[in-house]
Amino acid sequence: MPGEKFMFECDVCGSSYQHGPHRYEGHRLKLYGDIFACDPCWNGNHDGWAPHHEEVLLAHIKRQGLAVPPRNEKGFLPRG
């Protein structure tokens, strides 16, 4: 049964992902002001955000007036 696709843009990498009936490919990032990451970003950074994503994430934090979360044992920003 075909239905309407709800497409969104990943706040981390900018790619499109589907998030709606029967497919939920977005992950809410509470620590970063409730932005969303696509499945590839979420799954590819299971042990913390890779350094090339930090600029985008820190900009979201700054815009929201949030504190920078403490880095994990590997020195990465937490996925949260």
Q: Has residue 59 been placed in a domain?
A: yes
Q: Has residue 69 been placed in a domain?
A: no
Q: Has residue 50 been placed in a domain?
A: yes
pLDDT given for residue 60 in this prediction? 94
For 3-14, the pLDDT digits (tens) are: 789 999 999 999
pLDDT given for residue 22 in this prediction? 87
Whole-number Cα distances in Å, 55 to 14, 22, 68: 13, 32, 12
Q: Has residue 1 been placed in a domain?
A: no
Q: Has residue 78 been placed in a domain?
A: no
Q: Has residue 72 been placed in a domain?
A: no
Confidence of residue 2 (pLDDT cuts 50, 70, 90): low
Q: Has residue 40 been placed in a domain?
A: yes
What pTM does this model have? 0.89
pLDDT given for residue 4 in this prediction? 83
Domain count, the chain: 1
Expressed as residue numbers, the domain containing 58 is 7-64
Q: Has residue 21 been placed in a domain?
A: yes
For 22-79, the pLDDT digits (tens) are: 899 999 999 999 999 999 999 999 999 999 999 999 999 999 999 999 999 999 999 9
Compute the distance between CA of residue 31 and CA of residue 12 in angstroms, rounded to an integer. Answer: 13
